[in-house]
Chains A and B, each alone.
Chain A
């Protein structure tokens, strides 16, 4: 091998520091050549190595009786009984979506689906979480509508329904939108696959699309901030082919029925480099491949390009020696190329040849697990105190509560999101019992008697003011949503979206958020099974709101527990679990009415939260609850209005007695509250359940009629439901261009 005298700017252009370079030289005992430098640059990028976040993620709880696989594999796996395993994971595709929104979002969907079926699971649902700048700006409208189109275009064609998600708009996302996608699949517990190479001399087989020059440097790009030059880096965008992915799903799942495969891994970020290094490293083996055998789309590709390409819809499998023919037969059946490109070797070396000539030789561990882990300095920003202060006396009370409610319902963050989810097939596989639009999606499991509940949550406003509490609330809200759907919360996945971690105040946000997530997950006994960290979400020094997103899954032992958020029938009682306090800090109300993202977020008492959730779940299982909806953004009145806005809207008549500041009563976002409806004859049973958990439950009113009526001690409103519905439905209409 040639030893190059590597120029400092070449090192920097691979996203490596001088110290990191020295470490590489120390590990391999020589200077790397260009191919090797590229491989290190990709694998040691923030995106692949988690070098800024690893030490903090290690504090998260990851164990529990149901955990079959925690963080570290392509996806997390839960034992959900009946011999079934639930495989799920969430991923961000923020940077690619900013550069080319349609393809960025589409390939994000493709990538997370591959993470699920590589584990042996059939992917059966997707959820998307979106953050964009205000839709009043045409650029944001363009990005938003193209991202939604990309998710739809890929998800619909590949045949995995997108059953839910969330969308939130605020200025700091203008320069850096967020696209996070969660995928769930089911597998037989005894047929799980892992990405661990094994069996010396077993063939390493490349399957799927041919390699082009797409996405070279994707991982390093996702690990840098955007600047004026970002547009120039555009050619690195990869393009998705959902049809080929569908073939890959079917072919892989068919092969996994047999006994031919040892390990499977998709080629995502850092492509062939990552797949070979990680499979070898996890398996404690080496791998040798010859690039001459890699199927390619374009002539003249160099070893460097082949190792770093991020062409989509490609997988690497390790098969049993002797199974090559059967593997090839299945892939041929599905019209997919499969090529043996190498084999598993003894020792831990990743050896890359090009027509027999070595072009890279690196210990797999060095690439996959020996990247530096940084304890980056973190410090609470100076303006944190100011952000948390809120002088309510300076905020005038509204004089028309009805008008404020309509304004809130019409706002992009609270309005009906049907304009998004009607573009997604959300019914495929006949499992969607409670579909998009409710707190949690409830999906029937194969077999038909049980179901899972899913929710994605994250409150950017709270996290901006207090990332620790905001992150705790994200977990609490996700769990509460799952409970409202009738599910018992089991575990979470997450996407942690933050700015540049080399800035101490960003690092502080990150550490606070991770601490909050850990604490809440311990309280709810919902361990973390994996997730994704997306840093450097900033353009020209303006960071996004700190945005930890939580994806929670829960289990329903009986599909009959499935509960939606919508009132069901005239005459039903409306009741509230929990207390309403004078908490307006960081609320959507303040953001919309006063343009303020300020004041302490609502308090969260984890013990109370758990008690409220237990109460609701127990009442659902007792068959008393006809609808359950958590109070979150927009507060109690918005939750009540949303409960009225099912497929056939229905009115409600509410009496409130609390004597706190009326706008806090109506629009404050006190935690640990759930609006439920029930038959009047079940009231005493409900009271008894709540009392047993020491949870306050209040009768609020009665479902029925065609008006939305509410009377409080110092406020009131009375609107025809048609007007409430029209406001709520109008919010997104003009924002989603075709």
Chain B
């Protein structure tokens, strides 16, 4: 499976994703430069963490204007797999590819720490290797991660089973003090209606080796590989 990792000016997690895909998963990865609208035939696009364009104005606001985002939108529109983590999630919401928005953390400062996440749905190509209710550990590292959506939008998310991860404690409980940024309804990750775009604030790539404290991030990659092997044509439309 070939992953394309988008590099915006100010991205910084792209090398980490590259490392995990190539060194840990032994799959193929290439970088996609933001100024090019060409996805080089990849099977899955990753929007990594960082501060694209400095996150000046609003996190992700300027990045979504890059030529590569037109290609990503078209790719997603054709059913292609798109994963956005951290800044990638912010960019996807700014681009309107995912619902909602990410506001400054309610504590108003940056937080880098381990979090527990409850898997809410395995009905996405990103979570087939996980169980609903399963608790996974991944770090967060962001200043603007407070997920917000209006009431109507939230209802749609719930009804559409589009909330994929929620912040919880080690047992899976949604206690107030385990919501690290004040996200609405503890939301850590959502998918689009079509379920081929996933955005989450935590960093799966930082949880892909035991020496770093968790391998749970690999479950997400395993899901992607699995979905791809099972139905490569439906998961990446424009190659078919």
Contacts and interface: CB of A to CB of B under 8 A. Distances in A.
A335 B33 CA distance: 13
A318 B107 CA distance: 46
Interface in A168-198: none
B63 to A, nearest CB: 12
A332 to B, nearest CB: 11
A430 B139 CA distance: 11
Contacts, number: 83
A157 B51 contact: yes
B23 interface: yes
Interface stretch (B5-13, B77-85, B227-235): B5-13
Interface residues of B, number: 34
A428 B141 CA distance: 9
Contact of B51 (A159, A250, A333, A427): A159
A423 B16 CA distance: 20
Interface stretch (B93-101, B159-167, B182-190, B205-213): B205-213
A422 B55 contact: no
Nearest to B53: A243
Nearest to B108: A738
A369 interface: no
Interface string A499-532: 0000000000000000000000000000000000
Nearest to A426: B112
A425 interface: yes
Interface residues of A, number: 33
Q: Is the interface of B mostly helix, strand, loop or mixed?
A: mixed
B15 interface: yes
A236 interface: no
Interface in A412-446: 421-430, 432-433, 444
A246 interface: yes
Interface string B139-150: 101010000000
A427 B141 contact: yes
A157 B109 contact: no
Contacts of A247: 9-10
B19 interface: yes
A738 B181 CA distance: 13
Contacts of B111: 422-423
A605 B12 CA distance: 45
B112 A430 contact: no
B112 A246 contact: no
Contacts of B20: 430
B153 interface: no
A149 interface: yes
Given A159-B12, A433-B211, A738-B107, A425 B50 contact: no
A559 interface: yes
A157 B112 contact: no
Interface string B15-43: 11001100100000000000100000000
A559 B51 contact: no
A246 B14 CA distance: 14
B212 A433 contact: yes
Contacts of A433: 211-212
A134 interface: no
A330 B220 CA distance: 36
B154 interface: no
B113 interface: yes
A448 B209 CA distance: 12
Contact of B209 (A250, A429, A430): A430
Given A422-B112, A427-B112, A428-B16, A559 B211 contact: yes
Contact of A334 (B9, B56, B113, B205): B9
B67 interface: no
A215 B54 CA distance: 23
A246 B10 contact: yes
B16 A425 contact: no
A448 B51 contact: no
A242 B107 CA distance: 22
Given A246-B9, A430-B212, A432-B212, A425 B112 contact: yes
B110 A156 contact: yes
B129 to A, nearest CB: 21
Contacts of B13: 428
A159 B51 CA distance: 8
Contacts of A738: 107-109
Contacts of B206: 427, 430
A102 to B, nearest CB: 12
A241 interface: yes
Contacts of A597: none
A152 interface: yes
A615 B95 CA distance: 58
Contacts of A334: 9
B40 to A, nearest CB: 18
Contact of A424 (B12, B16, B53, B112): B112
A325 B75 CA distance: 35
Contacts of B209: 430
A619 B107 CA distance: 43
A122 to B, nearest CB: 9
Nearest to A250: B9
B8 to A, nearest CB: 10
B19 A156 contact: no
B141 A425 contact: yes
A427 B139 contact: yes
A599 B232 CA distance: 74
Among B20, B56, B112, B141: residue with most chain A CB under 10 A: B112
A428 B142 CA distance: 12
Contact of B110 (A246, A425, A559): A425
B157 to A, nearest CB: 28
Interface in A611-647: 647
Contacts of B212: 427, 430, 432-433
Contacts of B51: 156-157, 159, 242-243, 246
A423 B112 contact: yes
Contacts of B109: 149, 152, 423, 738
A647 B114 CA distance: 10
A523 B169 CA distance: 49
Given A425-B110, A428-B12, A430-B16, A242 B54 contact: yes
Nearest to B33: A333
Contacts of B203: 427
Contacts of B110: 152-153, 156, 423-425
A207 to B, nearest CB: 15
A243 B10 contact: yes
Interface string A231-268: 00000000001111011001000000000000000000
A365 B88 CA distance: 50
Contacts of B108: 738
A421 B141 CA distance: 11
Given A243-B54, A246-B12, A428-B141, 12 more contacts: A156-B143, A242-B51, A243-B55, A246-B51, A333-B35, A423-B110, A423-B112, A425-B112, A430-B20, A430-B209, A430-B212, A433-B211
16 contacts: A243-B10, A243-B53, A243-B54, A244-B54, A246-B54, A247-B9, A422-B112, A422-B113, A423-B112, A424-B112, A425-B112, A427-B112, A430-B206, A430-B212, A433-B211, A647-B114
Ranked nearest first, the 8 interchain pairs of A and B with the lowest CB-CB distance are A243-B54, A159-B12, A738-B108, A157-B51, A425-B141, A425-B112, A423-B110, A430-B16
